[in-house]
Amino acid sequence: MSDYKALFLDIDGTILTPDDTIEESTKAAVKQVKQKGLEVFLATGRPLHEIREIGQELQIESFIGYNGAYAVHKGEDVFMERMDSEMIQHFLNVAKEKGHEAVMYTNEKNVLTSNDSQVMEDFIQYFHLKHNVLYQSDYQDQILGVSLLNLGKNDVALYEEGNNIHLSPINVAGFKEHSYDVIRDEVNKGFAVQKVVDLLGFKPEEAIAFGDGMNDKEMLSLVGAGFAMGNAHPDLFQYAKHKTTDVQNSGVFNGLKSLELVE
């Protein structure tokens, strides 16, 4: 019997390939570890109201979303950590001044600074964002996560300075050069995994996690078996105990096979 009790899977670049599909080997791996009794969570920067179909395809009912700000275990809320409204206002001010765009996520909506720029249209299309509204001040104290678009490298510090956050490049072709997720120092995927394992009565070292982006570093550092995908951001490997193959070459399956959890 395995000593591992939980598995946390990032979505983009980890289980979801660049052509927007999930490999059959990944589906088989998830099925096998569930049969062994492991709790399986999707752990993503995406909003939970946009990933239910992915969960259904893998028969997963537990989620961490918004880069660790909200968790659900088998349909029941575990916790929700909204972002500071003054920080959101600062982001909006900088974005307006510099010509950036922001996608802010509540637990029901994707709140957009505009809907007519090319970078926003591309982002909406790639991530299949359906529940979109334009920003109004009523949403400002409901935000769980933020993606910032159209930034230059020198713009990152404008958001990070003094805010106890860091920006993580979105590790997807076409976006990694200019688009970032806002990661809070105290609320991130690692924070969320710790909260979840505490709830379930596990220890972090009894968990496995797979990821490919810098928003996964806290999660991979925390768990007992953290796997960086072969296609991961180059800076992520130092935070992972293991490296597996890439998302288009059975990365999740091969990682779990190395732990003798699938065959």
CB contact burial 104-123 (16+ within 10 A = b; e otherwise)? bbbbebbbbbeeebebbeeb
pLDDT at 221: 97
> Residue 63 above 80 pLDDT?
yes
d(CA 47, CA 69): 10
Question: For the residues 89-99, what does the mean pLDDT come to?
Answer: 96
Cβ neighbours of residue 211 closer than 8 Å, sequence gap 6 or more = 10, 14, 43, 189, 217, 219, 220, 226, 227, 228, 229, 232, 236, 240
Number of C-alpha atoms within 13 angstroms, CB side, residue 208?
Answer: 27
pLDDT at 176: 84
DSSP labels, 58-114: HT--EEEETTTTEEEETTEEEEE-PPPHHHHHHHHHHHHHHT-EEEEE-SS-EEES-
Instruction: Identify the band that residue 62 occupies on the pLDDT scale cut at 50, 70 and 90.
Output: very high
d(CA 127, CA 188): 20
Question: For the residues 118-138, what does the mean pLDDT come to?
Answer: 95
Do 90 and 180 belong to one domain?
A: yes
What is the bridge-based pairing of β-strands 225-228 and 242-243? parallel
d(CA 140, CA 88): 7
Domain boundary among 137, 158, 184: 184
- Pick from 63, 212, 44: nearest CA to 128: 44
pLDDT at 2: 65
Do 74 and 121 belong to one domain?
A: no
> Residue 259 above 50 pLDDT?
yes
Do 166 and 101 belong to one domain?
A: yes
Percent of the chain with pLDDT over 90: 93
> Is there a domain that residue 1 lies in?
no
Domain boundary among 152, 184, 216: 184
* Number of domains the chain is built from: 2
Domain boundary among 144, 169, 184: 184
pLDDT at 86: 95
Do 159 and 133 belong to one domain?
A: yes
d(CA 170, CA 136): 25
Task: Give the tens place of pLDDT for each residue, 200-237.
Answer: 999 999 999 999 999 999 999 999 999 999 999 999 99
Instruction: Identify the band that residue 161 occupies on the pLDDT scale cut at 50, 70 and 90.
Output: confident
Q: Domain span at residue 100? A: 85-184
d(CA 230, CA 235): 12
Question: For the residues 134-163, what does the mean pLDDT come to?
Answer: 94
Estimate to the nearest angstrom the gap between the alpha carbon of 162 and the chain centroid: 23
pLDDT at 4: 96
Do 67 and 121 belong to one domain?
A: no
Do 177 and 99 belong to one domain?
A: yes
pLDDT at 151: 96
Do 73 and 92 belong to one domain?
A: no
